[in-house]
Amino acid sequence: MSPRSETTAPGPPPRRAGPVAAGAASILLLTSCAVLTAGDRLDNVPHDVSTDITDEPVELVVAYTDDPPVTELVEGFTELHPNVSIELQQTPFSDYIKTVTLAMSSEDPPDLAQYNPGAMRSLIPGGYVLDLDPYSEAYDWEGSFPAASLEPLRADEDAARFGEGSLYAAPGALSVIGVFYNRELLAKAGVEEPPTTLEEFEEALERVAAAGIVPFDVGGLGVGGIHLWNALLNAHGDGGAYRDWVHGVPDSTIETPSALEATRTFTRWVEAGYVPASANATSDDDARADFATGSGAFLVTGNWAAFELDEAMGENVGFFPMPGVDADQEPLISGSSVSFVVSSQTEHPDVAAAFLDHLSSPESARIQLGAGFMPVDTDVTAQEGGVLEEINTAYTRVAEEEGIVPFPDFVTPGMIDRLTPGAQGLTSGTLDEEAFLAEIQTEWDRVHGR
C-alpha cells in the first residue's frame, strides 16, 4: 500500500502543505475546469527535448497526496531554480485516484501529478500522461535511478501491462512495508532478537501475548489490515506469480497455494488474539499513535512512518522485514515510490522533466532520508544507528536481490475497494480465506480478463 499523508501524534509538527490548502485543493480544481470529452488519444510523446531550462519565470502546478516528502522536494528544486514557482495541490489518499484522474484529463490539468497506477490505467490510454522515454535517454535516468524503482513505472500504451513498455513516471522517494517493533516490550516478553523466520515470529507473538502485551497495533479501519496480509503474502511468497498478477500478465491469479497459506496465517493470528478485537474500528493514525506510546509490540506499516516513530520512540523502535517461511528463501518486500508523472498538456515539459531529474540528486536523497524514505540516490545512506539505518539496510539487501514487489492495490483502480472490506472481513471472521482471494481475483478478472 502506498504511503499515506496522515499525521501521527506524538511526532514532528505538521509540514506546510503549500500555497493551496491541503485536502481541498484538488477538489477546488475539479470545480473550476471541464473534463475533456472522449476522443482520439492525445499526442503524449515529446518531440523537442532539452535538459537546459529557461531563465524566464515559470509557474508549475503539482497535484499530490503524500507529504512528507513532496513539500521539501519541491522547495529544494525551487531553491536551485528561483525563476520557477510551484503551486502544490494536495488531496487525501482516499480521494486521490478519482480526483487526479479527473484533473489530469481536464482542459486545465496540473503540470505534474503524483503517480498512482489505478489512475494511470485510464490516463495513459488517453494520452494524458507524457511518455518520458526521451527525457530518460537525455538525462540517463537508467543510470541515476535504481532499476527496481523504474520497472513498475513502465506500461504499454493501453496500460494493460505494467513493468514493461514506456516510462511514464520518475520516483521521488522509495518506500517499503515491514515490521516496526518496541524493543522494551520485546525484552519484557523475553524476545531477545528480531525473528529470522515466520516460525520464530510466531514464537515471539506467543511470548508477547503470554506476557500480557498487545502483539499488534492494527489500523483495520484504514489499510493496516491490508499491510499485515500483504506482508504475510511476501513471507509465503511466490515472487514470480505475484509479479505477474500485479503487472496484469494474462491468466495470472492470486488464488495460489502460497496466497492461501498467507491468508490462513492472517486468520490464525486473528483467532489467537494477536490482532486486537477493536482493529476494524481503529484508524491507521490511531494505530501508529498507539504503537508510539507503547500500546503494542509490533506495527506493520511502511517506512513513511519511520520519521514520526523515531521522533516519538528514539532508540526504542526497531524495524525488520516480515521474515519468510525459510531463512534462506528469496526475500520479498512490497514497496513503491512517491513518483511523479508529467501532463502531456503542460506548457513547460522541459522544466517538469528537470524537476524529475532533480529527484535523483544527493540533495533530494537527504530530504528523502530525513522523511523516513529510501533515497533514490543509493550512494547516500542514513546516519549510523537507529531505525532509519535498519530500514535502509533491509531495503538495500532486498533490492540487490530484486525482491521489491508492488503493492496489491496497484493491480486495478478498484482493487483497494475490494482489499479494504476483505481484510476487515478476515479480521471480523465474517469472510473466509477462499472467499477473500476469490473476491480479489474477481476484480482482477474484471479489468484484465482470464
Query: What are the backbone angles phi and psi of residue 167, rounded to the nearest 5°?
Result: -85, 130
Going along the chain from its start, the domains and CATH numbers come out as 25-175+336-385 (3.40.190.10), 176-335+391-448 (3.40.190.10)
Q: What is the mean pLDDT of the chain?
A: 88
Whole-number Cα distances in Å, 60 to 125, 275, 355: 24, 45, 10
- pLDDT tens-place string over residues 246-288: 999 999 999 999 999 999 999 999 999 999 999 999 999 999 9
pLDDT for res 207: 98
Mapping DSSP to helix (H, G, I), strand (E, B) and coil, where does residue 107 land? coil
pLDDT for res 401: 85
Q: How many CB atoms lie within 10 A of CB 378?
A: 18
Mapping DSSP to helix (H, G, I), strand (E, B) and coil, where does residue 208 land? helix
> Is-contact 300 216, C-beta < 8 A?
yes
Predicted confidence band of residue 4 (pLDDT cuts 50, 70, 90): very low
- pLDDT tens-place string over residues 323-337: 999 988 888 999 988
Q: Which of 173-177, 338-342, 372-376 has the lowest mean pLDDT?
A: 372-376
Q: How many CB atoms lie within 10 A of CB 169?
A: 27
DSSP classification of residue 106: B
Q: At what angle do helices 349-358 and 70-80 cross, to 10 degrees?
A: 110
Mean of pLDDT values over 426-443: 98
Measuring CA to CA, which residue among 132, 275, 136, 170 is closest to residue 214?
275
Whole-number Cα distances in Å, 241 to 2, 199, 254, 321, 337: 21, 23, 8, 20, 22
Q: How many CB atoms lie within 10 A of CB 45?
A: 14
Dump the DSSP string for 30-91.
HHTSPBPPS-SPP--S-SS--S---SS-EEEEEEE--TTTHHHHHHHHHHH-TTEEEEEEE-
Measuring CA to CA, which residue among 120, 112, 110, 170 is closest to residue 140?
170
CA dihedral of residues 439, 335, 186, 260 (deg, nearest 10): 30
pLDDT for res 377: 81
Dump the DSSP string for 120-175.
HHHHTTTT-B---HHHHHHHTHHHHS-HHHHGGGEE-TTSSSBSSSEE--EEEEEE
Predicted confidence band of residue 69 (pLDDT cuts 50, 70, 90): confident
What distance in Å separates the CA atoms of residue 201 and residue 209, rounded to the nearest whole number?
12
pLDDT for res 76: 95
Provide the whole-model pTM: 0.83
> Is-contact 171 153, C-beta < 8 A?
yes
Predicted confidence band of residue 40 (pLDDT cuts 50, 70, 90): low
Q: How many CB atoms lie within 10 A of CB 82?
A: 9
Query: What are the backbone angles phi and psi of residue 120, rounded to the nearest 5°?
Result: -65, -25
Predicted confidence band of residue 380 (pLDDT cuts 50, 70, 90): confident
Q: Supply 424's cell numbers.
A: 476487515
What distance in Å separates the CA atoms of residue 151 and residue 403, rounded to the nearest whole number?
12
DSSP classification of residue 178: E
What distance in Å separates the CA atoms of residue 81 and residue 87, rounded to the nearest whole number?
14
pLDDT for res 366: 86
Mapping DSSP to helix (H, G, I), strand (E, B) and coil, where does residue 437 land? helix
Query: What are the backbone angles phi and psi of residue 118, rounded to the nearest 5°?
Result: -60, -45
Pairwise pLDDT comparison (152 vs 7), residue with the higher score: 152
Mean of pLDDT values over 421-440: 98
pLDDT for res 383: 66
Predicted confidence band of residue 15 (pLDDT cuts 50, 70, 90): very low
What distance in Å separates the CA atoms of residue 206 and residue 188, rounded to the nearest whole number?
13
pLDDT at 365 over 80: yes
Query: What are the backbone angles phi and psi of residue 302, rounded to the nearest 5°?
Result: -95, 165
pLDDT for res 3: 43
pLDDT for res 67: 73
Predicted confidence band of residue 201 (pLDDT cuts 50, 70, 90): very high
pLDDT for res 50: 97
Query: What are the backbone angles phi and psi of residue 334, rounded to the nearest 5°?
Result: -75, 135
- pLDDT tens-place string over residues 124-172: 999 999 999 999 999 999 999 988 789 899 999 999 889 899 999 999 9
Q: Which of 179-183, 215-219, 376-380, 438-442 has the lowest mean pLDDT?
A: 376-380
Q: Which of 33-42, 71-80, 226-235 has the lowest mean pLDDT?
A: 33-42
> Is-contact 403 414, C-beta < 8 A?
no
pLDDT for res 36: 45
What distance in Å separates the CA atoms of residue 162 and residue 169, rounded to the nearest whole number?
12
pLDDT for res 370: 78
What distance in Å separates the CA atoms of residue 99 and residue 116, rounded to the nearest whole number?
11
Alpha-helical segments (H) within 256-348 = 257-271, 284-292, 306-313
Mean of pLDDT values over 51-80: 93
> Is-contact 154 167, C-beta < 8 A?
yes
